[in-house]
Structure 1
């Protein structure tokens, strides 16, 4: 057993080694901003300048992006302070010699952590090292993740906290014991952390009643009063953990932004227009940091995010060059996005958000299989699947369906993009792994045969990644080489 564990641990180390190579090598390329980097460069400069500011997303991810630039110090000798005035910076405004390594550092590191967390979570849920490792390989070679996470974007940070939140539930679930208030506090803290990166992580709160019911199932002999007392105590722990993280994050944001923004700058106009009198008194030096100042910052920040969200235009499929898409197309890997292209000497380098077609097909199959297994368990009372694996399939499937319901609702409010499916893709790959584990049990597939299937799928996914890699990693292609990438489906408009 020890030798086998060492073998799997070695495989995981190799996997993480390749993760570092894919996510850290040449992260300074392209040496130009693309997609949301144009916004986050300006946000980074506001943190570095210590200016008060309100942003479209919560602070955790934004502060980490800024921390990367500060830690590397790569731009310390450049005149980047004027960028803090802007809400959105163009490539022409960025000083010559600007290094993108710093702002891309933490998103890339969190992408690597996501692979480790995904392996740990799926291993816990399935009880299978081989299934967890194979599914983690799919995550490693997911082209859309590599394109998006190697840039200054928030999604890898969000996915890491999403995985940690689910992992916390799985850990307490497998104990088969009553859940303590400490565990609820940890869950609340992780859930808050995910939501304070991107607000759509709020769907994780649906796991709270699941945890409460799980806890009550172990104290059935308690009186009604005792059960109510337990529920309220645990809810208090959950809320306490969430509130503590929320307050700490916004307190840090407030401390880092204590200087007065210029009223006449695009960024300053937004901050002044949406700040309460208490917040204004703080950043103009009339009032010091206090509990009530932080509360007002939280309120002002939330109100601005809500207003900014409502100001985003809706999807317009008739609009030329529309990059948005409807959630119905996402599981099919449709409506890719060209973030950037650069041509030279008859070749063009692309930064294209395109999914690994093998992975997305496996994810969709995983969702279908999970629904089938759940129906078989609940309607036809099938007992061929391990009870614990069946429970986790239902749990992850419920999260997937809830997340999709939320993004469907959001799509009615504003334009959405393919990368908004990243959480769904992550959950669908988990469902694929768990469903395969269930199929092994149903059909009593021998370990050698199961491993051959897993290796074949992992190799197919890796081959698909390698074929599309030039589009993800900004490597030059001729037009003919580019058009060849449209063989399975049209993923890029070649120049």
Structure 2
């Protein structure tokens, strides 16, 4: 059995991880048969693509396009009158057809997030060359309550994280492949970045990967300050990475604009008369319409962003939170609750955005350790025991810090799920820090180190199960709720 596992480990581990991931992300994803949080926005907007209705929205279109595909392929609403979805950008629960289901709309985010764990596993495995280590730390993504509840809905983040993890995996494959870095590598990496940015603009932080790839590509010239060679290489690598990203982004908008073939109830979103005229002429797929539509969509997105209110923590119903509080899973968000009486006891089914505290707190600890390592190396000139691994830690710590610094510059209200991207960076970083600390034991496949990593994964799973009522909507009494209310800064609120 040991020989069999060692021989086929590269297939066994991913297969087991995928089965576990699907078993966590897919059960009950069709419930509740009602919308919550941003589903009220994304469901009607996805439906507009199906019916060819023009609309504008603050996020790039790719996520809603995939939701529309999911509804067409897997939805059960063929006989439902969905006209109410076309006349609004926010569908209230009362206005939604009561017999309508949301499985089709939820399917893309659910399945893509479930599949993305394979990229996460592959990233760690490529860097550490230890499948057991990669498998143990993949539990951070599979068994995080916040990721599971948010991705199993008509939300953009599961789709976004799929493309982000795909580009991170591709980046690590290039760097660890041992082959010369070619222009096609920049092209493909830029394409992945373009796909992620076409879902949510926050993915633009991944453009840093192009700079990191260039540093790996030209490390010898950088160390020798060979400016002439560096400038020549920049002249070809920047267009090779940036132009594909821009082409994908614009291509997605081209499809978005082309599908908007009619206007409902004179809902023009302040579009220019020229653009409206092109739509009414039935000329939505022309380059002229694209240029007009792109200009008007960009203007709408900018004005919408400017109109979003700032964070006001004095508001009793404020769901937003300050970015510096996110690493500790503050502030949680109550997405939905349904109150019932069972055997004389009041039982409430919650849908709560709350992170697995073992996952989130461990990631914070990993970032603190990695920052300490970087400071000790560059401030105090302490030696490092594994240079390649040290640079990988620097890369993911840098991505984490860069995102948090960038997000702190945004004045509009932001929410806990905006932390998912650095959460992924931090989870990878935690695995690398563990590998760095126990480097010799990991290389030797020390059984005690393997047991410790396994026990950590088991702890992650156990705490996920403990908080799973918030994730899957299982009923809780008040006492059971308070048993899970560990910290006041989470700001959990029991329904009485």
Give the TM interval when normalised to the shorter protein: over 0.9
Aligned with 1:304 (options 300, 321, 341): 300
The 8 Å contact of residues 351 and 474 in structure 1, kept in 2 or not, is answered as: yes
Structure-2 change in CA distance of 1:340 and 1:223 (3 Å): closer
Aligned with 1:241 (options 238, 244, 266): 244
Separation in 2 of the partners of 1:479 and 1:97? Answer: 31
Name the SS of the counterpart of 1:350 in structure 2. Answer: strand
Separation in 1 of the partners of 2:259 and 2:440? Answer: 56
1:372 aligned residue: 372
State how 1:391-430 maps to structure 2 within 5 Å: 391-410=391-410, 413-430=411-428
Aligned with 2:232 (options 225, 229, 232): 229
1:186 aligned residue: 188
Q: Deviations over 1:76-125 (max 9, x none)?
A: 11011221110101101111211110111001011112211111111112
Give the superposition deviation at 1:480.
1.5
Aligned with 1:313 (options 285, 292, 309): 309
Separation in 1 of the partners of 2:335 and 2:303? Answer: 26
State how 1:37-436 maps to structure 2 within 5 Å: 37-217=39-219, 227-263=230-266, 268-270=267-269, 273=270, 275-285=271-281, 287=283, 289-345=285-341, 346-410=346-410, 413-436=411-434
Give the superposition deviation at 1:363.
0.4
- State the Cα RMSD in Å: 2.2
The 8 Å contact of residues 178 and 218 in structure 1, kept in 2 or not, is answered as: no
Structure-2 change in CA distance of 1:82 and 1:368 (3 Å): same
Say whether residues 1:466 and 2:441 are aligned partners: no
Give the superposition deviation at 1:226.
5.4
2:452 aligned residue: 453
Structure-2 change in CA distance of 1:482 and 1:227 (3 Å): closer
Name the SS of the counterpart of 1:93 in structure 2. Answer: coil
* Structure 2 residue runs without a partner (length 5+): none
| Deviates most, 252-261 or 356-365 | 252-261
The 8 Å contact of residues 259 and 284 in structure 2, kept in 1 or not, is answered as: no
The 8 Å contact of residues 348 and 477 in structure 2, kept in 1 or not, is answered as: yes
Give the superposition deviation at 1:246.
1.9
Give the superposition deviation at 1:156.
1.0
Separation in 1 of the partners of 2:372 and 2:7? Answer: 33
Separation in 2 of the partners of 1:340 and 1:33? Answer: 9
Structure-2 change in CA distance of 1:380 and 1:448 (3 Å): farther
Number of equivalenced pairs: 486
The 8 Å contact of residues 53 and 261 in structure 1, kept in 2 or not, is answered as: no
The 8 Å contact of residues 384 and 390 in structure 2, kept in 1 or not, is answered as: no
Name the SS of the counterpart of 2:314 in structure 1. Answer: coil
Q: Deviations over 1:223-262 (max 9, x none)?
A: 8655433321222211331132123212221222222333
Structure-2 change in CA distance of 1:226 and 1:372 (3 Å): closer
Name the SS of the counterpart of 2:351 in structure 1. Answer: strand
Structure-2 change in CA distance of 1:406 and 1:361 (3 Å): same
Name the SS of the counterpart of 2:409 in structure 1. Answer: helix
| Deviates most, 231-240 or 332-341 | 231-240
TM-score calculated relative to the size of structure 1: 0.93
| Deviates most, 455-464 or 277-286 | 277-286
TM-score calculated relative to the size of structure 2: 0.93
Separation in 1 of the partners of 2:465 and 2:159? Answer: 25
2:474 aligned residue: 475
Name the SS of the counterpart of 1:317 in structure 2. Answer: coil
Structure-2 change in CA distance of 1:376 and 1:446 (3 Å): farther
Name the SS of the counterpart of 1:339 in structure 2. Answer: strand
The 8 Å contact of residues 47 and 257 in structure 1, kept in 2 or not, is answered as: yes
Structure-2 change in CA distance of 1:389 and 1:491 (3 Å): same
Q: Deviations over 1:113-172 (max 9, x none)?
A: 221111111111222212211111121110001111111100011111111222232222
1:4 aligned residue: 6
Separation in 1 of the partners of 2:226 and 2:415? Answer: 50
2:439 aligned residue: 441
Structure-2 change in CA distance of 1:474 and 1:91 (3 Å): same
Name the SS of the counterpart of 2:138 in structure 1. Answer: helix
* Structure 1 residue runs without a partner (length 5+): none
| Deviates most, 240-249 or 389-398 | 240-249
Structure-2 change in CA distance of 1:2 and 1:297 (3 Å): farther
Q: Deviations over 1:315-355 (max 9, x none)?
A: 11111111111011111122111000001112110000011
The 8 Å contact of residues 384 and 441 in structure 1, kept in 2 or not, is answered as: no
Separation in 2 of the partners of 1:446 and 1:260? Answer: 63
